[in-house]
Structure 1
């Protein structure tokens, strides 16, 4: 009985701590007392029945500089996608407050010249043109056919993904391709399991499939990028970041939107080659990468490998 009492006491103390933490958080939100933060409310759930109160710092560098990078504190950060082209990793270091950290950029263990090829479709029309969706479906079908499925098709917009998936259902059925679409009721882990275990699969995915997904081997031989992954500035936090940069006389596009999109593209491309025996193609269906001046920054951030422009 004494042990039960101790457990109950511990649970009540933890509950009290969580209630106090929630009370404090609600107070900060209502008073908007935290400086240099942005506040917003989100409605979530299948019918929007859940309300979430959010507060986030516009710039995380000061907090991380104090918590992680102060003198006498050792911190090592590693990732395959910290850089946007510069060897000093300046964008990432400035973003997280690690300006004084020592950067080290190592080469890849993969032979991308032999393992990967990039196709860029310059002929793609503008997304605002009436024939865009038809052209998008045509080129996706073309490149899916080259690899007999085994493909990720990555989107930046959920609605666009759903509309194209509906358009391509008959094609996939006729070609005996297993079409998997994010948001169809299966969690991400189940979608990935089906993709890996079912031959000739094609997976349509949005944000969560651009990174953190590991499909080594023959199951994935083709990653199709439908659009360069620029973030839409309709999220309160992104909007606040852009406004802050402009308010201090900076250029929000070159200082935030472009490097963030480059990092996201590198993550998406990184889904393809996971081991030294993997081979495959990357397809970019956004001609801005070869028609806009900033496209050179995207190309420079890709692994060194053969590139064919169609």
Structure 2
């Protein structure tokens, strides 16, 4: 149904005065909504309630899932909707030829969040992005509340994980040389969740190296996500058009009629600025001997 388009279907929901606009909506990938409602989920009687909890754990704001936000994006001059995607079972995606078939009893055990569905202005689903790309998309659009990031540090021969909160996005645009230029700044701060390196994180130099590694990884993922959606789908699910309209109405009026083309050929740059605020009660990992620790 999502691939065929939901424009006509949503007219009923936007017209009914009894409808709760905070109703949550998902895409069920590779199966039907009816089969999803039969899924066994031990923590809730209704699988849909369990999905809300799972989705909340990956750091997204619950308001983003509401029908209201979908309708607002659908009625925008330029912004395109995006919806979270859930799949039945804990196994990887099923082959294309098996999609739509009733799942076996074993396959009905549980579900997983698998990414985000991208829609165009005709309200037809045009493709998917994965979990990491979905988080990057929500960070850029200002809908990410928190997340956990991990990065390998070559100098420490291991990886460090950090819980990131207070995530923010700032979008600056300008029209130069006949081309739209957009610069995105992503900020966040957090606490070290796990340190599997031999580095003593009480050393500020190691913290600086960690921040550089996390920022570099974030920039690569976020910029790749924007570029892939920009070139492959041409749908603005990042809120760039809304940011331009708020900051420079004259510029927006000059490009809004050709927004899809302007968005696809725009030059986008991105900078991440994450800060480690807390390292926990220990600097190095407690499993290490003193002679193994890099001070």
The structure whose residues are more often strand, as a share, is 2
Give yes or no for TM over 0.5: no
In the superposition, the TM-score normalised over structure 1's length comes to: 0.22
Question: Structure 2 length normalisation: TM-score?
Answer: 0.22
Kindly name which structure, 1 or 2, has the bigger radius of gyration based on alpha carbons. 1
| Higher share of residues assigned helix | 1
